[in-house]
Chain A
Amino acid sequence: MSSSAENPTLTTEITKPSTEIATETAQSAKKINLKTSDDQIFEVEESVAMEFATVKSFFEDAPSSTDTVPLPNVPAKPFSQVIEFCKEQIKFKANPDETEKKKSNSEFVKEKTNEDLVEMIPVANYLEIKDLLDVLNQAVADRIQNRSVEYVRSFFGIDNDFTSEEEALLREEHAWAFEDVDED
C-alpha cells in the first residue's frame, strides 16, 4: 500500500480547506487518509474521521494501521459535504450549545440543493453518522411535505410504476387526504 506522501492528496476545491488547516496545525493534529469510491483521497483530521463510526471501528479493529482507509460506497462530492458537517459538529462537542447547534445545522441544510441532500443520505448511513442522518431525514421531509405526488417522484427520481388505472384507484381510495397542495 502506498503511503499518503507518495500518493499526494488531490487539491480539489473540496479538500483545500483541510490542507490549509493541515499546514497550520501540522504538529498537533493527526491526519487520516480516506479514499472515496471515485479514487479521491481526503486527508482528514483524526477527530473528524472518528465522527464516522465506520472509520472508527476500522481503526479499533486494526489499531496499528496507518494505511489509507478505503470507502468503497462513498463518492467524493457528497463526502466533502459530510466532512464539512462533521467539522462543525466537533465544535459543539467541546462547547455544547443546543440552540447554536440547531442554527448551524439548519444553515448547513439550507444552502444544499435537493440533490446534495439526497446524495448525502447513503453516505451518512454508510459512515454511521447518526446526527447527520437525523438532520438530513428532517431536511428532506421538510422539502417534500405539503408537496404533490409528482413533485416527490421527481425529487427522488422515482419512476411511477403504477398503471394510470391503478393510480386513479389509489387516489380515489385516499381522496380525503389529497388537498390542494403546492404543485411546483
Chain B
Amino acid sequence: MMETNHEKLSANTVGFCLLPSEIIQNILLHLALPEIICLKSVSRFVAGVISDQNFERAYNSQSRPSAWLFVYKKRWNRDAILHGFNDRSGRWFNFRVDGLLKPVICPGDQIYFLTASSNVFLFVSNTRRELLALDLGTKAVRTIPPSPLGPRGTSSWRRSGMKLVATGSGHFQFLFVDLVHSSPVLFVYSSKTDTWQSVEAREGLAEMPRVFQKEGGHVLLDAINGPYESTVTAVGLECGAYNNHAPIVLRPKFNPGHTDGLDRLQVFGDGNMLVVKSHGVDNAGVRMVSDIELWGGLRLNGSWQNWEVVSKVPRRIKEQIRKPYRAMRGCLERREGIIRAVLVSNYDGLWDIIWLSYDTGRSLWTWLPLPDCEMKGLNMAGIAFSSGLTLP
C-alpha cells in the first residue's frame, strides 16, 4: 500500500521544497532529536533547514521542558546499548554510543552509565575506575582525570550526591559531594580547565544564601542519607557561586512514623525523596507496593528542618502500576517544578520501569506508561534522567 503512495507522490511531485522553510521547520519540531539528526542526510535542502540557527534555537527552547530517561543495557558478548525514552515522543530510541566510546575504552572494560545532562553523558570504567565523558553534539569523548579523592568504581558513586551540569558551548561541570574526615566537601570538575576544585561545605547556617535561593539557582547534593537524618549540601550554580559562597550544609530530620510492618525503599534526588512502602506476598521474597509517598520540606527561604510528606501517589495510579517484584530501585530528579521518578523492578528476569511525575505547581501526579524496552534477561548498567538533548 505504501508503495503506491510513493509512486503517486513522485508522479505528482508535491513541491515539498517549495514550502516555506518555516513550515518544514514546524513539522520537524514535532520530532525527537535523533530523528532530526538522521534527516540531515535526506537532501542538501533539508540539511540546510536543520542547520539553520533559528531552527536550532526554536528546537532547543521547545525541547527544554521535555525529559529523557536513559538506560544502559549490557548484552552478553555484544556491545552495550544506551536506550533513551523521551516523554514527548512516547517511545524508546537506541543510541549507538559504543562506537563513539571506543577511543577511550580498552577491551574487557566494564562500562557503567552514571548520569547525563543535555548532550553530555558520563560513564565510568569499572576496570580502570575512571570517568569517561561523551558529548553527543560534538562527538568528543574524553577521560576525566581522577578527582582529589582518587580513582573510583561504580559502587562509590551515589546518584543523589552528584550532578552533571551543561554550561554551554559544549562544556560541562561535574559536581559531587562526599564526606572527608566526616564533613561534606564539594568536588567540581570543569571540562573547560580539565581540572578539579574542592570546597568544604559550611556548617551552621540556618538557610541558604540569597543567591542560591531561586529555583534553578542551586543544586542539592546528598552527602549522607541516614535513617533519621540526611546531610544535604546546597550548591549555588550561578557562575562560580561556589567560589564566593561555600556550599552550605542542611540537615533535615526524618521521622518515618509508624511503619506498619511495611518495608521501605527510599529514593533520593534534588532535595526530594520517594518512599516506597511494600509488603511481602509470599515467603520467597516476592513483594507488592502498598504506598508511594513524596517527601520534601525545603522552604522557599532555603531553610530545611524536617523531611515532610508532600503528596501520596493516588489510588487510581497505584492500581495501574502494581505488579509483583523481587527487587526494586529508582532514581528521582526535580527540574522546573516537576519531580520525576522512575522505579525499576525485576521479577524473575523481567524488568518493569514505572515513570511517575509530580507537578508541584498543580499538585498533580501523572503516570507515564512506558513501552517495553526489551530488557528481558539483560543486565542494567546504569539509569538516569536527563534534560533535553540539544542541537549543537
**A residues within 8 Å of B by Cβ?**
113-115, 118-119, 121-122, 125, 133, 137-138, 140-142, 144-146, 149, 152-162, 167, 170-171, 173-181, 184
A-B contact count (CB 8 A): 121
Chain A residues with Cβ below 8 Å from B12 are: 115, 119, 157
B22 vs chain A, min Cβ distance (A) = 9
Question: Which residues B14-50 have CB closer than 8 A to chain A?
Answer: 14-20, 23, 26-35, 37-47
Chain B residues with Cβ below 8 Å from A180 are: 94
Chain A residues with Cβ below 8 Å from B37 are: 174, 177
B206 vs chain A, min Cβ distance (A) = 47
User: How many of chain B's residues have a CB under 8 angstroms from any CB in A?
Assistant: 48
In this assembly, does B283 line the interface, its C-beta being within 8 Å of a C-beta of chain A? no
Closest 5 CB pairs of A and B: A141-B30, A156-B16, A179-B94, A177-B34, A177-B37
* Bound CA span A110–B210, Å: 53
* Bound CA span A153–B28, Å: 14
In this assembly, does B99 line the interface, its C-beta being within 8 Å of a C-beta of chain A? yes
Interface residue SS majority, chain A:
helix
Interchain CB contact (< 8 A) of B43 among A137, A144, A158, A173: A158
Chain B residues with Cβ below 8 Å from A177 are: 33-35, 37-38, 95-96
Interchain CB contact (< 8 A) of B26 among A118, A137, A146, A162: A137
Question: Which residues B79-107 have CB closer than 8 A to chain A?
Answer: 89, 91, 93-97, 99-100
* Bound CA span A157–B15, Å: 8
Interchain CB contact (< 8 A) of B41 among A142, A144, A157, A162: A162
A179 in contact with B16 (CB, 8 Å): no
B27 in contact with A153 (CB, 8 Å): no
Chain B residues with Cβ below 8 Å from A141 are: 27-31
Chain A residues with Cβ below 8 Å from B99 are: 175-176
* Bound CA span A115–B29, Å: 21
Interchain CB contact (< 8 A) of A158 among B17, B32, B139: B17
Known: A114-B5, A161-B43. Contact between A137 and B30, CB under 8 A?
Answer: yes
Chain B residues with Cβ below 8 Å from A156 are: 9, 14, 16
Chain A residues with Cβ below 8 Å from B33 are: 177
* Bound CA span A67–B45, Å: 40
Known: A114-B9, A115-B14. Contact between A176 and B95, CB under 8 A?
Answer: yes
A158 in contact with B16 (CB, 8 Å): yes
A67 vs chain B, min Cβ distance (A) = 29
Chain B residues with Cβ below 8 Å from A161 are: 43-45
Apart from A154-B9, A158-B43: 17 A-B pairs, beta carbons within 8 A: A115-B5, A121-B19, A121-B23, A122-B18, A125-B23, A137-B27, A137-B29, A137-B30, A141-B29, A145-B89, A153-B42, A160-B43, A162-B43, A173-B139, A176-B136, A177-B33, A177-B37
In the complex, 17 of the A-B residue pairs with CB atoms within 8 angstroms, ordered by the A residue number, are: A118-B14, A125-B19, A125-B23, A137-B23, A137-B27, A137-B30, A141-B27, A149-B41, A154-B9, A157-B10, A157-B16, A159-B43, A160-B43, A162-B41, A162-B44, A179-B96, A180-B94
